[in-house]
Chains A and B, each alone.
Chain A
Amino acid sequence: MQTAFEPDLVFAALADATRRDIVLRALGGREGVVELASHYPMSFAAVQKHVAVLERAGLVTKTRIGRRKVVRTEIEALRHARGLLDQYEALWRGRIDRMTDLIAASRGTRT
């Protein structure tokens, strides 16, 4: 199932350390919820809830492999978030360049 990119859901989902860890572990897409749950000192139900939050945000999907269902990370959603930060960085780099030019210009006239 393809989930539309919902920015606020994505960032809310990524705001939790356990969920970020699940996103990392699910990159390979080899473990189901039961195996994932074994890595954390919390109940299966709690881990299941975290996976559901990630699923709603489109960050992970459950895929059937034979008789098992594995959790797999959708890296496009992560990439989109990262892309926005990169653009914001570019905007500030432009501002810093212009600030530098202004300082250089004023030094030139104050000799």
Chain B
Amino acid sequence: MTVTAVHKDPAALTMTLVAEFDAPPERVWELWADPRQLERWWGPPTYPATFTRHDLAPGSRVEYHMTGPSGDQPRGYWDVVEADPPRRLVFIDGFANDDGTPNDAFPRNEGRVTIEPIHAGRSRMSIESRFPSIEAMEQVLAMGMEEGLTQAVGQIDAILAEGAAA
């Protein structure tokens, strides 16, 4: 089990996920810093990602598109806010127009990635996602629905549990 903790806050619209890898931080960082490796994991098998512009220096823009089962190609971009290899990456993830320019009609979400060594070549990565609205979350999910639908049911928080009992 590589995912060690998940915290979801439906009211604040944030999710923090912590995972451990059997590799030092430098190796985990490569998965973000090398676009060829990044595109092997960013998109689900049904929506593979292709990164057409990639530089993780602060202030840089990363451009990518996904390719859906029916040939649709939604485009996205990241604006890199902070980068401290191999420890920290903060970026804004947004949707883009066909020409790659940011599509301001869609909300953006912020991702904060932290990678730290644990011991003997292992590391811990945490990713915190913050959404400005539920609409933003729905749009991100539209590009990964297949996986979303295979989720385990359960994980109903205290409010829902209490609601069912009331």
Main secondary structure of the interface of B (DSSP, over half): mixed
**Inter-subunit contact A98/B151 (CB<8 Å):** no
Question: Which residues in A have their C-beta under 8 angstroms from that of B22?
Answer: 100, 103-104, 107
**Inter-subunit contact A78/B21 (CB<8 Å):** no
Complex interface bits, A96-111 against B, C-beta within 8 A gives 1, otherwise 0? 1111101110110000
**Inter-subunit contact A92/B41 (CB<8 Å):** no
**Inter-subunit contact A95/B42 (CB<8 Å):** yes
Which of A31-39, A47-55, A62-70, A81-89 binds B?
A81-89
Counting chain A residues whose Cβ lies within 8 A of the other chain, the interface size class is 35 or more
- C-alpha spacing A31/B148, complex, angstroms: 38
Counting chain B residues whose Cβ lies within 8 A of the other chain, the interface size class is 35 or more
Question: Which residues in A have their C-beta under 8 angstroms from that of B8?
Answer: 82, 85-86, 88-89
Residues of A15-33 whose CB lies within 8 A of B: 15, 20, 23-24, 27-29
For residue B105, CB closer than 8 A to chain A, the reply is no
Question: Which residues in B have their C-beta under 8 angstroms from that of A78?
Answer: 10, 159-160, 163
- C-alpha spacing A73/B22, complex, angstroms: 45
Question: Which residues in B have their C-beta under 8 angstroms from that of A7?
Answer: 133-135, 138
**Inter-subunit contact A87/B151 (CB<8 Å):** yes
Question: Which residues in A have their C-beta under 8 angstroms from that of B141?
Answer: 84, 87-88, 91
**Inter-subunit contact A89/B10 (CB<8 Å):** no
Question: Which residues in A have their C-beta under 8 angstroms from that of B11?
Answer: 11, 14-15, 20
Complex interface bits, B1-35 against A, C-beta within 8 A gives 1, otherwise 0? 01100101111110101010111000110010000
- C-alpha spacing A88/B147, complex, angstroms: 9
Nearest-neighbor residue (CB-CB) of A101 within chain B:
B41
- A contact set with B: CB distance below 8 Å: 7-8, 10-11, 14-15, 20, 23-24, 27-29, 73, 75, 78-79, 81-82, 84-100, 102-104, 106-107
Would you mind naming 22 contact pairs between A and B with Cβ atoms under 8 Å apart? Answer: A8-B134, A11-B11, A11-B133, A14-B11, A15-B11, A15-B12, A20-B11, A24-B159, A29-B166, A78-B159, A82-B8, A86-B8, A88-B8, A88-B129, A89-B6, A90-B147, A91-B140, A92-B15, A98-B40, A102-B40, A103-B27, A103-B28
